[in-house]
Chain A
Amino acid sequence: MTMTDEIKEVTLEEIKKEVSSAQQEKIKSSERLQLIVFKLAGEEYALSIDDIKEVVITPGIAKIPQTPNYIKGVANIRGSIIAIMDMEERLNLIKEGKEAAGSYTLVIASEQYKLGILVKEVPNTLTTYASEIDTASNIMQFSALEKECIKGVATVDDRLIILVDIFKLIEIENLNKITTI
C-alpha cells in the first residue's frame, strides 16, 4: 500500500502557474477560459480549471458493493473520503486498448460533492476563449446524458476538445439512482 505522504502530486499551483504564463502570450480580452484537458477513450475532454481542486496520483481505492459500475469506490485523499468515478464507463465510451486503471485522479472542487475522476495521463492545461467554443447544438445527441452534460466543443488548432459539465453529470447520476434503483 502506498502511503499518502509518498505520493508525488501535481499541485494546482503548478498548473495555474503554467496557465498564467500561457495567458501572457495572448492578450485578447474576450472571455478567457482555462481548461484542464485529459484523454478518455482516445478523445480529448476538458473541465474548467475552477471545477478542479487538485490532481493526485490515484491512491488505493476501496470498492463499495451495490453501486453502479462506473463508481470504482472511495479513496482517502488528504483525509477526505472521495468517490472515484470512471468517466469512460460513465459516458459509455468504448475503452481503448488495455484496461489500465486511471493513474491520476482529478479531484472535483465542490462543497456538495466529493468526487474524483480517473484519468490515465497527467492532464494538460489549455487557455482558450469563449468565442472558440461551439455550443453543443450541432452535435448529434442520442441521450439526455449527452445533451445535458456536454457544454460544447473547443477547437484549438486542429484539436477538438469536448467540454463536460461535471456537475450536471453528477446530478443526472443521482436522478438515475432514484429512478432505476
Chain B
Amino acid sequence: MSREEEYKEMFYAEAFEHHEELDTLFTALEKKPEDRMVIDTIFRVTHTLKGNAMGLGFVEIAELGHVMEDIFSEVKSGKIELTKDLFTNLFKACDKMGELIEALKTGKRVSYKGIRTKLNVYLKTVTGNTEEYTAQAPTIAPPTENTVLLETTDNKPNGETSLQEKVETKALETEENSEDEIEEKPENSLASKIAFSDQVQVPVKKLDDLLNLVGELIIEKDTLVAKSIERGSRRGGEYSRLHRITSDLQYGVMDVRLVQIGFMFNKFHRIIRDVATIEQKKVNLKLEGTENEIDRNILKIMSDSLVHLVRNSVSHGIELPEERVAKGKPEEGTITLSAFNEKDTVLIKVSDDGNGINHDAILAKAIEKGIVSTAFAKQMSKDDILMLIFEPGFSNADKITEVSGRGVGMDVVKRATESIGGKISVSTEIGKGTTVSLSLPSSMAVKGALLFEMANQEFAIPLSYTEAVISLKKKDIHKINRGLMAKYLDKTISIVFINDLFKLDRIHQISENGHLHKSFNNIKDKEHKMDVLIVSYNDKYVGFVVDKLLQQKEIVEKTLASPLDNVELFSGATILGNGNVCMVMDIATILRNLFKENTNI
C-alpha cells in the first residue's frame, strides 16, 4: 500500500468514527438541546474532521464539515437557536457526510451542495453574509498536527496518542446506538444501513501483551522440542508444523507492530520550524525512505533521541543565513532525515549541510572537561575523537540555549540506541556538513544470540556484538599492564576471563590491580585450550574467555524489572527451551567500562 493510500485508509477509519460519533451526538442533542458539553463536542469533532479532510485534500468533506462547524460555532455563542427544522437539516448533513466518507471507497459522486446551501442560509440569518464564512476558511485551518498526524483528540489511552497503530481487520464492532439511529430517522430511507469500518484501533498495551504471549509460546515450543529430542526422537521432526505455525504467528504479530517511519518523520517539519525560528535560521527538511517500517516501540524509545539530533543539527550544524551566503551555500540549510531497511535493521540518518564538526575543537573540549588526558589525546584517531561527543559530560555548545542544553546530551542518544541493540556513528566534513547514522533493529521481539556456559549456567551475548569464536591456548595469551592480550587475525585484542568479570562486586573495580589476571594465573598448563568469544563495540575488540560455548539461538529478551533494573552487567534475560533463565550480557556497558578505565590511565 502506498503512503497516500495508507493515509487515506486511516482518514477513512477516523472519519468513519467521527461520523458515527456525530450521529450519536446529534441524537443526544435533539433530546436535550441545552447540553453545552454535547455542543462543544460536536464543534470539536466537526473541526477535527474538517481539518483532517482539508489536510488530505478531500474538499467535499472539508467544505461540508466547515459549514457544520460554523453552525455550531454560532450555536455555542447562542446566536443560532436549535430548532426542529435545523435538526432535520443537521441530520441530513450528517448523513451526507457519511455518504461522502463512504464515497472515498466507492468513488461515487455525492451531491452535497444542496444541504450545504441550506445550512448556509441559517448562518446568513445570523450574520447576514454567507460569503464571509467561506472566505474565512483558510484562517480557521487547524494546527499542522491535525492534518499531518490524523490524530483524534479523544478516547485514547494516556501517553499512547502519537503513534497508535492501526490494525487492519474486518471488524465486527458492536454499534451502541444503532437502534436509536434507525428509530430517530425514519424519514431518511438512505441512512438505515449500518456500515462497518475495515480498520480497528488497538491500544499498544494489547499488542505488547500479545507479543509477550507469542514469546512464551515460542519458549514452550522449544521446551517440547527439547524434550522430544531427549526422548530420542529424530530432532523433534514431528513438531515441524508447530514450529512453522508459531514462527508465522510470531512474524505476524511483529508485523502488526510495525509502523511507517514517515509517521514520525513528518513531525519534524514542525520541530525544525520552531527551532529554526528561535535560532533565526532558515532550514528546509527533506524526508527519504519514509515508507520503511519499524517496530513502534523502537520508534518510541528513539523519538527523543531523534528530536535531540535534529535540534542539534539546526542549532549547531546549520549556519546563520548570512554566513551561508558568505560561504557560497544556499541561504536555506537542508536537513535530511532518511531511512532504509537492511535485512533486520533499519538505518536512520540525520544529515545536515551545515558547518561540520571541528575535530580540534572537540579534542580541546574533551581535554578541558577531563574526559581524555593530554597524553592519550595525541594517539587518538579522527574517528575516536568524533566518538568523544558521545561521552557523558561532553557538550560542545559554548552557550546553553533554549534549544540545546536541556540535559539530554549525545551520551543519552547513544545509550538509548544501544539499549535496544542499535549502533550509532557520525561522519563529518568541515564546511560540508555532518551525518549521524543510527542502525536500529527493525523489531525488538526476537534477536539472535550466542549462548555460552559459565559455572554450569547459561548466558547469552546478542549476535549484533559477536565477531568470532576462536580457541586459544594459554601460551597465546599475554599479560599487559593490568589486562591480558592476544592476537586475533592481524589485530591485538584484549582478553578478559568472564569469570573474573563476574567475581567483581561492581563493574568499576575492573581496573584494580591484578584482578583480570586471576583466572589466567590459576591455569597451570601452557597448552590448556580455552573457548574465546570475540565481541566488538565501537571498533574495540575484546575476547571473552568462557567455560564452554553453546549454540546460536533466537531469543526473546525481557528487560529486568525492579529490583534488578540497575544491574550493570546484563541488559535483560530470556527463558530457554529447558525452562532455565538465561541472562543476556550488556556488552555495550561492559566494554564502555573496560575502555573508559583505559583512556583515563
Contacts and interface: CB of A to CB of B under 8 A. Distances in A.
Interface in B500-531: 501-507
Contacts of B575: 76, 79, 81
Nearest to A177: B566
Contacts of B216: 79
A94 interface: no
A173 interface: yes
A163 interface: no
Given A1-B578, A3-B579, A112-B561, A64 B219 contact: no
Given A3-B223, A66-B504, A83 B580 contact: no
B4 to A, nearest CB: 41
Contact of B506 (A60, A66, A76, A79): A66
B564 A83 contact: yes
Given A1-B580, A3-B223, A4-B579, A174 B558 contact: no
A95 interface: no
Interface in A28-72: 59-67, 71
Nearest to B562: A113
Interface core residue of B212, B504, B567 (most chain A CB under 10 Å): B567
Given A62-B457, A62-B580, A67-B567, A81 B504 contact: no
B180 to A, nearest CB: 39
B496 to A, nearest CB: 13
B328 interface: no
Given A62-B457, A79-B219, A67 B564 contact: yes
A81 B558 contact: yes
Contacts, number: 90
A65 B583 CA distance: 10
B268 interface: no
A154 interface: no
Interface in B524-583: 558, 560-564, 566-570, 573, 575, 578-583
Nearest to A81: B573
Contact of B581 (A3, A75, A181): A75
B500 to A, nearest CB: 11
A106 to B, nearest CB: 15
Interface core residue of B215, B503, B568, B581 (most chain A CB under 10 Å): B581
A91 interface: no
Nearest to B575: A76
Contacts of B504: 65-66
Interface core residue of B212, B215, B579, B583 (most chain A CB under 10 Å): B579
Given A3-B223, A79-B219, A113 B561 contact: yes
Contacts of A64: 564, 567, 569-570, 583
Contact of B502 (A59, A65, A113): A65
A174 B582 contact: no
Interface core residue of B216, B570, B575 (most chain A CB under 10 Å): B575
Interface string B207-241: 00000100110010001000100000000000000
Given A66-B506, A173-B563, A181-B506, A81 B569 contact: no
B569 A65 contact: yes
Contacts of B582: 62
A113 B505 CA distance: 23
Contacts of A1: 578-580
Nearest to A66: B569
Contacts of B567: 64, 66-67
Contacts of B583: 62, 64, 74
| Band of interface residues on B | 35 or more
B326 to A, nearest CB: 51
Given A60-B580, A66-B568, A115 B563 contact: yes
A85 B502 CA distance: 19
A76 B223 contact: no
A11 B227 CA distance: 27
Interface string A97-126: 000000000000000111100000000000
Contacts of B568: 66
B356 to A, nearest CB: 40
A156 interface: no
Contacts of A59: 579
Interface core residue of B458, B561, B567, B569 (most chain A CB under 10 Å): B561
B579 A60 contact: yes
B562 A71 contact: no
Contact of A62 (B219, B223, B561, B581): B581
A170 interface: yes
Interface core residue of B215, B223, B457, B582 (most chain A CB under 10 Å): B457
Interface in A118-151: none
A3 to B, nearest CB: 6
B579 A66 contact: no
Contacts of B566: 174, 177
Interface core residue of A1, A76, A83, A170 (most chain B CB under 10 Å): A76
A114 B561 contact: yes
Contacts of A177: 563, 566
B217 to A, nearest CB: 9
Interface core residue of A79, A85, A174 (most chain B CB under 10 Å): A79
Contacts of A174: 562-563, 566
Contacts of B581: 60-62, 73-76, 81
Nearest to A3: B579
Nearest to A178: B566
B74 to A, nearest CB: 48
Listed from nearest, the 4 A-B pairs whose CB atoms lie closest are A65-B502, A114-B561, A62-B581, A79-B216
18 contacts: A3-B227, A62-B457, A62-B583, A64-B564, A66-B502, A66-B505, A66-B567, A66-B569, A71-B564, A76-B580, A79-B575, A81-B581, A112-B561, A113-B562, A113-B563, A170-B562, A170-B563, A177-B566
Interface of A: 1, 3-4, 59-67, 71, 73-76, 79, 81, 83, 85, 112-115, 170, 173-174, 177, 181
